[in-house]
Structure 1
């Protein structure tokens, strides 16, 4: 029984309408379990304030099932009819009710529920717990007259203004909406602690209950008592003298007939709120009711001081808070393209830390780099690339898409590219500069076609395929594009795992060829469609001599692979159409060409006395050339042939000016002489050089040399020279030997001392 609304804050005391003795319990399989009764949360708002819970036909079917047949002479609720009045809309509470003649009880319940947005299920339970009229097969006129107990205080007769079935149903529904829209005007209010009595007898006491929703507060304002333990212990019967039954029976009847009264969106929102710490947690106190939305499939939302909780499907509601909530709102929130949340914010420590939250059609990531929406193919790519804990890291800007549907989004570890037609992938920072320099998706490479791969060969690095090429990066070589015929040729010589290794430069194309440098080689591709592999240690010399261009002096194309030789300290040699290049750790890389190369090979080549070259070939003209080697210098003349000046003699020869000096070109090889302790001698156009183990190497020339030879030369008593010849201003020259000193005076001849 309830006082009419005009009584304001006064609360009616009503036990009679709450049925002290319960009806016969339903079958055990359907029985409610009092262990689940929560005085703070009797029924969820989304179930109670749902004007579309049942249609007229569904209400009628339910009434038929409760009482299939009435007792003779009585009108059961399933058969009850009356003329109903038209009621104007009540601002914020109920919409207009269009009355009509001969409406059934089912029509009245369904239409009032829809007009006032009160669940028809809740109204049915209210009718039963107040007057038992739903299951009564011989109801009285009084039961119809006071069907919902509205306007029937325990301390006085019922107010005749509210007599009648329609009046009772409508007034009760309107009252519950009035409670909801004026929550602080009543003794029991949601989202705060309330003293709720057990019985009209105040001696039975009360307990403090934190009423968690409006529907529960409304039930307490309508029937202001909670069941005590005795009443709950005998859920389908009577408790003790301090037991009251109205709200117990409402919860029990709803559970028996319609399932749990606390399962549903509001319950899930409340559970999420408690997981977040409830009123003492970071969300703070509620600021809105649980509000229904129809967008994106529909759901419910409740606002709090520091966030919100949203539910759409399933049994879990999710928190929206902080920077992610702000970004979600900017993206349209519940009505936007992301739809409803599908997870709580998830804190992640990797890559500097941040927070991720999933939604029906995307996600939002939040870090020091900002809060950004992830959606579509880029979100899928991120998942395939390991998510925010993988290489990509955290988004640093919003996704952008062009008119053709190509979308890009930058992250701390690189950038994603996605096209509905051509696919795409993630390009890591290590490769991104080279990709951007190549024009990005609109450039020479097109979109990425593979995910970046990490390889350990040749020192390790990363490589990624694109529609028209690839990019390879290594710590020592940086990132460089591989494309066209050079890329194809690179594959035939072993690719990154081969001897060429990782690229160290971009591809360069000239008039004759395209070339690209790698760790172990420089690769060329000619306009004629031929590839050339040149060891990286030789590439500088090869290019200096014209490379593959075919000009005069060019080595031409390689005719062998790179051959390693161990002779004379070791090194590598590569042969070409017009010569070779030899490289050694001490001598570096130098070309071997023409007659010098022929003479070098005749002298034993790399394995001979000359060993590895230490200098480039030098030619004064087309008839005379020379080249330095570890074991000496090779000289070639078109008239004099080839001669080697060995290390024992070469220093003195160089001091004398070499081929352009006072001795001229060599005319013999080095000759060993055993006399006077032994040594070697070599002749030149204008003299000779004699080198002994004791004294060293010194030139013999002019009249002094002639005079020396008349005295027996190297085999005579003078022996080997000890120093270079010196001459004064009068052209008087002297030269010491191991057996004496010779002097030559112009006009007088030679003397010995």
Structure 2
């Protein structure tokens, strides 16, 4: 398909005439001939990746190779041409829409369309015609830019002349190689005889070609470098040398890093980040060694350490005491596996070094090196790791009978099949030991100490049979049994009760109590355990507590609509911050619940109930409830309720309400409530007024509050002869037994 040796001869001629292939790149990890592998010149993942560079990235790279062109010449960084449209080639290249494009556009878009690395295309352009670094390229270099259609034994085929044609045809050809791999002379996955030179007398050697990209390069340029070509990596060797594939590998390595895998490239990047040859790792002492253990990866040794790379984790350096300890644990083949971070120096808790690995972490301090593994490591990190209160490990993990434990500066972390990894430390450990430790009434820890910010903050740790709490500036307290259950049902530390302020106390009758910052918990074997917050406890105590009309609680406090409700045997107490707390009992509670309770129109109680002669009255946000002993009742709008009370309530002239207050809309809006012997009408403008007797009847014939008289502005007044008068927005009604009613 193309020539190789003739192309090399042309390169030599260019060197003699003053052109160069480009100065050795400014990459610190320059190509080393010892790394050249004739069976794996470049890996498939690097070669067949059409998304490695965008057009702007290609342009920036071209600009970096040539600062300025010689006068009268067009360098590749400035080259443009009109490109044609190309239809999709099934299984090889996608459709290409042409236009007025730069060389960078063509390289980027052909690479994307055909799935060929833009980096590989750039290197091929340099290998074949030095177009990337040449500052005075000729028309011939552009017409045969990729050496495509240029056999060793004849001139180039004119059908493929032109920069776009060359780039596209070469990219398509590499996909042709891949689409029909057994049709060509060099086949991946087999041992191939590959010559050193077009001259058969120069000999050949057997090469196992490891991948398709390498096979494609040999099909494109069918020679490998001999020892002399590798010994003079940036020059020429003896008469049997061939340089096409050597130059491809060398240029790619110098410009873009290792060709063998992303791992080698990542190792080089990590090496440069560590200072390269002048850094703490020093010079390389090995090549890139593939290791299959623990999922596989690559390791390269240096004078001062090593860098290990794995696909899921990346490349990280290994050095010093941690590296030595890591190697005693099997290195990358051991239980720790591949490194997951660089070594970090930590100054906390006396200082030391830490490095993460796939299977755990290694911590090295004055106490020595120790591994932190699995669940214990996870839990240790949740506690703040090395910089937290537990500090550095002082022992290896010790396991027996299904339970593992590890000691740290600040406490103990252990793992069991029943409870996973848990820790005990500091003041919590002191309190735990005082309660008998693992063999005491609390049993094994089931959580580690947990900091809680609620209600002033503190620390809590749960055990098999209870918990220990330490409030900020408070003493350690135990929570156990039914009292603890009732406390947790109320919301625990974050709930209204907050932190315990005393120890649990139990009487001979089995009744237990415990005080908390926000209330109390009571328990008896007969009634069960309940928590009562202070907001509920105050009105509960005022109502007689457990011996009063409310009796024992039936539920814990229930958060509802911004407040709290708690049910008792004889009723409920409802509380919120704006109204306070009040009991709701008997017929009032039944009536209240039938209207939606707290979430209904009545809302929260604003006062306690008052019952007289079997009629109970209680005020709520949404009105005043008046309930008869038979359960019938009404809801009075608050101002109407106040006027009703002033008029003597149910024992007054109005008698019992016949229904609830009704809102009336109009030019003036307000409320009206009917009673057995009259009504009360109220607006914010006119206030509340009582309507009774003949004036009320006459007023209703005039349309009532929606008629021309509008709303009453005062109560009626009557004289001794029975004449009554009442003022309204639209006039005054006067009524007498002699004349009846009239409007004035």
* TM-score with structure 1 setting the length: 0.41
Q: Under a length normalisation based on structure 2, what TM-score does the superposition of the two structures give?
A: 0.41
